[in-house]
Amino acid sequence: MHGASEAGINPVSWLRQRRAKSHTRAVRDEPMVETVRYPNAGIKYTGFLLDGEMHGAWRWYRLDGSLMRSGQFDRGRQVGVWHTYNRAGTIVKETTF
């Protein structure tokens, strides 16, 4: 893996850092899409926010565009089976929450 951004993503730490930033968000009844891109315009991560919390399916990608990690959130809490992938797309790790 190249660089700290690909060294392993801890979604819970990411969420805590995100919450620490001063954001004002309206309370919503439906999830809104959150997508952040690398400087090369490739997707870094994408998922849904509900009332400012990670909710539903989330995916993280490497700089080369390959899927690195995927999983589900329920209002900010990791749930279900999470997968970590190698660059070829093979699941190399499964974690159940």
pLDDT of the residue at 29: 80
Tell me the C-alpha distance between 64 and 30, whole Å: 31
Tell me the C-alpha distance between 90 and 76, whole Å: 27
What is this structure's pTM? 0.72
Across the strands, what pairs with 45? Answer: 36, 60
The residue ranges of DSSP E strands in 16-55, in sequence order, are 32-37, 43-50, 53-54
pLDDT, block means (10 residues), the chain with 97 residues:
50 61 57 96 98 97 98 98 98 98
Distance of CA 68 to CAs 23, 27, 60, 77, 84, Å? 27, 30, 6, 19, 6
Domains of the chain from N-terminus onward: 9-96 (2.20.110)
pLDDT of the residue at 3: 41
